[in-house]
Structure 1
Amino acid sequence: MVQRAVTAGTKRGAATAAKRQAILDAALCFFSQFGIHGTSIERVAERAGISKTNLLYYYPSKEALYVAVLKQILDIWLAPLKAFRTDLQPLAAIGEYIRLKLEVSRDYPQASRLFCLEMLQGAPLLMAELTGDLKALIDEKTAIIDDWVKRGQLGAVDAHSLIFMIWATTQHYADFATQVEAVTGATLQDEAFFSRTVENVQRMIIEGIRVR
């Protein structure tokens, strides 16, 4: 009897998680195209295959849903940076970070575009996250880069500027994917183009911070 209850509870938990993710995926699709003001709860619910009432059970307002989507984006976006460790070889770590960030741009372009849109609007619903957990993480990782510079393992470089440059370069391929495709005839979904992009961005940035 206990085992049946546990199994039933596990199934309910999985079903709930799947429903939440379906809602977040549907919301991301609309928010990334039309923003929060151009998106209706009704359209999100319809795309997620549930009722508006059911959606509001999980996310009580459109603003709450929007913030939930943005927080999930931050988790995805920051995961590669969290892998930075003091015991890594600096140039290899930065090269791997560039590759992982380009993978995020390739695999989650809608998420990157929505995050960009939120930043352009002044981050009205995400400022607490930016000045809290995000800043704490950046402080931690810039300290690692500063230590590498002090040890002579990297050329003299400002840690924040390096991270901002990597963000700007890698996220360009998601935020301006239409422009990239118009100019090059390819996207990051093209395996050969993705490999060339990783190689070129790694080389340009790494050669700029290598010890001379």
Structure 2
Amino acid sequence: MPTTQAKKPSRIQVRNRKRILDAALEVFSRHGYRGATLDQIAEEAGLSKPNILYYFSGKEEIHVTLLNQLMESWLEPLEQLDPEGAPLDEILRYVHRKVEMTRAFPRESRLFANEILQGAPRMAPHLESGLKPLFDEKTALIQSWIDAGRIATIDPRHLIFSIWSTTQHYADFDAQVRVLMPAESGGLDGAEAYLDTLFRKLLTP
């Protein structure tokens, strides 16, 4: 019996899904999951609410779809830590990648932060199955560099937490940063050089 292949979505369907997801990203990053509504997403997308529900079953499916996409891109810089590279260069390259992601994807950073602040109700399985094994792998790699005397003795877990917090701060607390550093376009102009100096001094044996 021949198998039935799923019908490929049309260009209009692909475009509308992208339009909805982009609108939802804006709404969720601004209001959080609890504060966001389908009406707000529909208004942001310039589509009707029934049109939104044609593509997604509801707010939760849209949110989960965004989080799934986010995890793929969010983990990539950490995955790229190369065991064969120079340890200090690899870690500083990771810091620079995180700054660039903050610059390019501030809404995604706030979406992730809002989910975690709510206890990760929709993302917990991904944290366990995706992030935790990668985190353990890369902290073990950093520990091996420490044991070999190639970087200073620090706790690898807190090092990664520090990189996350210092880079993503500029997106998650953008409104505050812009008030305190109004001439710096949100503070990112000097952030990369500052964080490079900070982590270089911390990690140099």
- Bin for the TM-score computed over the shorter chain: 0.7 to 0.9
Structure 1 runs (4+) deviating above 4 angstroms are none
Mapped partners of 2:51, 2:114: distance in 1: 28
Q: Distance in 2 between matches of 1:65 and 1:42?
A: 13
- Give the TM-score of the pair, scaled to structure 2: 0.87
Residue aligned with 2:34, SS: coil
The corresponding residue for 1:164 is 161
Aligned partner of 2:149 in structure 1 is: 152
SS of aligned partner of 2:85: coil
Alignment of 1:1-212 (within 5 A): 12=10, 14-188=11-185, 194-211=188-205
Partner AA of 2:192 in structure 1: V
For the aligned residues, what is the CA RMSD?
A: 2.1
Letter in 2 for 1:87: E
What letter corresponds to residue 32 of structure 2 in structure 1?
Answer: G
* Cα contact 1:28–1:111 (8 A) shared by 2: yes
Q: Any idea what SS the aligned residue of 2:35 has?
A: coil
Indicate the residue corresponding to 1:4 in structure 2: none
User: Is the contact between residue 33 and residue 115 of structure 2 (CA under 8 Å) also seen in structure 1?
Assistant: no
2-side partners of 1:105 and 1:188: how far apart? 13
Could you tell me how far 1:45 is from its partner in structure 2?
2.6
Structure 1 stretches of 5 or more lacking a match? 1-8
Could you tell me which runs of 5 or more consecutive residues in structure 2 were left unpaired when the two chains were aligned.
Answer: 1-6
Counterpart residue number, 2:3: none
Paired-residue identity, %: 39
User: Could you say if the C-alpha distance between residues 16 and 82 of structure 1 is closer, same or farther in structure 2, counting changes exceeding 3 Å?
Assistant: farther
2-structure distance, mates of 1:134, 1:11:
31
Q: How many residue pairs end up in the alignment?
A: 199
The 2-side partners of 1:203 and 1:69 are apart by: 34
Which amino acid is the alignment partner of residue 121 of structure 1? Q
Instruction: Confirm or deny: 8 A CA contact 1:173 1:188 kept in the other structure.
Output: no
* Aligned partners of 2:102 and 2:109 also within 8 Å: yes
State the Cα distance separating 1:15 from its structure 2 match: 4.2
Give, as a single letter, the amino acid of the residue that structure 1 aligns with 2:134. Answer: L
Looking at structure 1, the residues matched to 135 and 185 of structure 2 have their Cα atoms a distance apart, in angstroms, of 27
In 2 relative to 1, CA 91–16 (structure 1 residues): closer, same or farther, beyond 3 Å? farther
SS at match of 1:42: helix
